[in-house]
Amino acid sequence: MKNEAIISIQNVTKRFPVGDGEFTALKNINLEFQRGEFAGLVGPSGSGKTTLLNIIGSLDSPTEGDALVLGKNISELSHKESALLRNKHIGFIFQVYNLLPVYTVYENVEFALLLQNIPKVQRQKMVMEALEWVGLASMADKKPDKLSGGEGQRVAIARAMVKKPEIVIADEPSANLDAENTHAILKTMRELNENLGTTFLFSTHDEKVMGYLDRIVHLRDGAVEEDEIIKSKTTNQ
Amino acid sequence: MKLAFQLAYKNLIGAGLRTWLNVGVLAFSFIIIIFYNGLIDGWNDQAKHDSIAWEFGEGKLMHSDYDPFDPFTILDGHGVLENDQLNDLTPILLRQASIYPEGRMLSVALKGIDANQTILELPTAALKNSTAEIPAIIGRNMADAANLKTGDNILLRWRDKGGTFDAAKVTIVDVFETNVPTVDAGQVWIPIKKMWEMTGLENHATFFIANEKYQPSNILDWKYQNQEMLLSDLNEIIAMKKVSGSIMYLLLLAIALLAIFDTQVLSVFRRQKEIGTYISLGMTRSQVVGLFTVEGSMYSFFAMILGSIVGVPLFAYLAKTGIGMPAASRDMGIPLAERIFPVFSIQLIVGTILLVVIAATIVSFLPARKISKMNPVLALKGKLQ
């Protein structure tokens, strides 16, 4: 399953207009991620972690260079095509969970499947399976405001995983969690990575998260400072 | 699209009070618009019906010298029709006269009418059956204005065909109730045969009222006006009333739509992270625009349901019992009943629903359009201004 480049970043530069000038968030980045990797972009604030993840997630596009995700060049995708890519192949986990407040846990997880027009019976099975992965099957009827931070993030993981995407992008997933919940959600994600072969890409500066990663790409001032491969990671840390 | 409706429904229900405030205002607009138009339509129907029944019949054949809006034409605006031209017509001769109730002089329009006529609802049978020398019938407004009642004798002065004044006592044999002021206010009705004797205008008429069998033809010195022409003034008054009334309900509708517009603007601004989440989960921007537009237009569907719950029993009750009109409003010179029965037609209801739904959809779409230009990354951060 591994040794297949699922993400290929080639000479990617990203600039943002700031006032009359420009801010360069990414400078000529070259990276590849293999299918099934459990990798993280690490660096201080402003290092370009989130910008790179947004490009990989087809929420943004590079100013220069090519970002190939599942063989598709992000810059060349139409709005509809990038929406389809996100809907079918990419799951997102956000720092503040971004659960839809008026929906129940079940409905939040079901949302991505609704967009794929999956039949109701199959949807129910998939949603409950995803909720069981994160240990929240019994809370399916609760609204997000009744959940703790850890539970909320686990719902977000279930929502990202329910469609069994090839890539999950997790932007600072532990930023609002205590140590216990951080370890809990990381273990869950690691299990899903190993069991389903999903590629996980994190942005973080949390050392607890780094402890679970197979590979750490250090970014500083928009450039790759170090690409560190860490071997022999297990789920029992 | 089905998904947009499902999501919009959940979002609106989940939004709670904000949704129900908008729905409440919109439902109120629905009810007011339908009520007001129903009232006008009811008045329209009643006024037309009463005008035809009491004044116009199927049409009027008027002497070409007579102009209903020019009192100076009464003196000479009359003539005679050949016998073979009188089929299906009831003659009415109009002269100016004065009466003297309680010693005061009151100018009246003296109208002679065939006592055997059946075209108009005027109770002319009372003239036929009376043994009085000169029997007369008058309307309730006239009776009130002159302080007259059935059985009263009153001095009437008129001019004959030579212009000589003459006077006689007339007897009020009936006071009729009508909503049509033009056959009531300032009018005294007597048998036309008696009037011919009094004026010396044998077989003359100012105009004829036609029944449904009458076939209009060109007759020299006479002009025919059908119902449509006769009702045109009334239609214009009602159309004007509708326009003036529509300003009121358009203002009300504008307030309701403004509430939806504001809610949508606020939603697009406050729900940036939600919009970013939708996009990150795989919705296209146009799908999100569609979702927000459907949310806005769904207010009108909810308002329709709420409006129906409140409005249907209310309208059914009003259509059955009618709405009492103040007595003063009956002096306006147009047919106005004591009670108006509103008419809530299917066209009115469907038209109002379409108006509100389309307007709500448009005002929802306008702010939602911004989403199509939204940067999802900034939206996810909630950083859009």
Question: CA-CA distance, B66 to B71, in Å (whole number)?
Answer: 9
How many whole angstroms separate alpha carbon A45 and alpha carbon A221?
9
Q: What does the pLDDT average to over A203-227?
A: 93
Shortest alpha-carbon distance between residue B305 and chain A (Å): 22
Rounded distance between C-alpha atoms, residue B175 and residue B152, angstroms: 11
**Backbone phi, psi, residue A184, to 5°:** -65, -45
Asked if A171 contacts A139 with a C-beta cutoff of 8 angstroms, the reply is no
Q: Are B85 and B245 in contact (CB under 8 A)?
A: no
Tracing tokens 């105009």 back to the chain, one arrives at: B207
A118-127, A193-202, B9-18: range with lowest mean pLDDT: B9-18
Answer yes or no: is A111 within a domain. Answer: yes
**Does residue A200 form part of some domain?**
yes
- Whether A12 is in a domain gets the answer no
CB atoms within 10 A of CB A208: 15
pLDDT average, residue stretch A97-125: 92
In chain B, residues with a C-beta closer than 8 Å to the C-beta of A107 are 10
Q: Is A112 part of any domain?
A: yes
pLDDT bracket for residue A1 (50, 70, 90) = very low
Return the pLDDT at A101.
Answer: 87
As for how many domains chain A has, the answer is: 1
First to last CA, chain B: 29
Interface list for chain A against chain B, based on CB atoms closer than 8 Å? 54, 57, 59-60, 79-80, 83-84, 86-88, 92, 94, 96, 98, 100-103, 107, 111-112, 114-116, 159
ipTM of the modeled complex: 0.90
Query: Which among A84, A100, A107 has the least Cβ separation from residue B282?
Result: A84
The shortest C-alpha distance from A86 to chain B (Å) reads 5
The amino acid at B153? N
* A202 part of a folded domain: yes
pLDDT at res. A12: 95
Give the β-pairing of B207-210 and B59-63: antiparallel
* Contact partners, residue A57, CB within 8 Å, separation at least 6: A86, A90, A92, A169, B280
Residue A216, SS3? strand
CA-CA-CA-CA dihedral for B199, B203, B206, B212, to nearest 10: 150
Chain B neighbors of A112, CB-CB under 8 A:
281-282
B342: alpha, beta or left, given left = phi > 0 and alpha = psi -120 to 50? beta
Percent of chain A predicted with pLDDT > 70: 96
Q: Domain range spanning residue A157? A: 38-57+83-229
Torsion, Cα of A63, A69, A72, A77 (10° steps): -50
Strands A167-171 and A199-204: parallel
- Nearest beta carbon to residue B377 from set A54, A80, A107: A54
Name beta bridge partners: A93.
A170
Domain for residue A13, yes or no?
Answer: no
Report CA-CA distances (Å) from A1 to A38, A157, A193, A195, A198: 13, 22, 12, 12, 10
Is the model's pLDDT at A105 over the cut of 70? yes
Residue of A nearest to B12 (CA): A102
Beta strand segments in chain A, E: 5-18, 21-34, 38-42, 64-69, 72-73, 90-93, 167-171, 199-204, 215-220, 223-229
* Residue B337 to residue B51: CA distance in whole angstroms: 11
Residues of chain B scoring pLDDT < 70: 327-336, 383-385
Contact B277 A100 (CB under 8 A): yes
Dihedral angle sign, alpha carbons of residues B328, B330, B331, B334 = positive
pLDDT digit string, tens, across residues A36-94: 999 999 999 889 999 999 999 999 999 999 999 999 999 999 989 999 999 999 999 99
Measured between alpha carbons, how far is A54 from A201 in angstroms, rounded to an integer? 11
Q: Mark B208-240 as b/e (b = at least 16 C-beta within 10 Å).
A: bbbbeebeeeeeeebebbebeebbeebeebbee
| CATH number, domain with residue A218 | 3.40.50.300
**Amino acid B19: pLDDT:** 87
- The DSSP result for B143-202, as a single string, is HHHHT--TT-EEEEEEE-TTS-EEEEEEEEEEEE--S-GGGTTTEEEEEHHHHHHHHS-T
Residue A21 lies in a domain: no
- Burial of A14: CB neighbours in 10 Å, binned 0-12, 13-18, 19+: buried
What confidence category does residue A235 fall into, taking pLDDT thresholds of 50, 70 and 90? very low
CA–CA gap between residue A44 and residue A213 (Å, rounded) = 17
Reported in sequence order, the residue ranges of A19-129 that DSSP labels E, i.e. its strands, are 21-34, 38-42, 64-69, 72-73, 90-93
Residue A62 lies in a domain: no
* Chain B residues touching residue A100 (CB < 8 angstroms): 274, 277
User: Taking CB atoms and an 8 Å cutoff, what residues of chain A touch B3?
Assistant: 114-115
Pairing between β-strand B187-191 and β-strand B106-113 as defined by DSSP bridges: parallel
Which of A115, A117, A157, A161 to mutate to probe the B interface, most B CBs <10 Å?
Answer: A115
- Is residue A7 over pLDDT 90? yes
pTM recorded for the entire structure: 0.72
Q: What is the largest CA-CA distance in chain A?
A: 54
Cα B254 from chain centroid (whole Å): 24
Beta bridge partners of B207: B62, B92
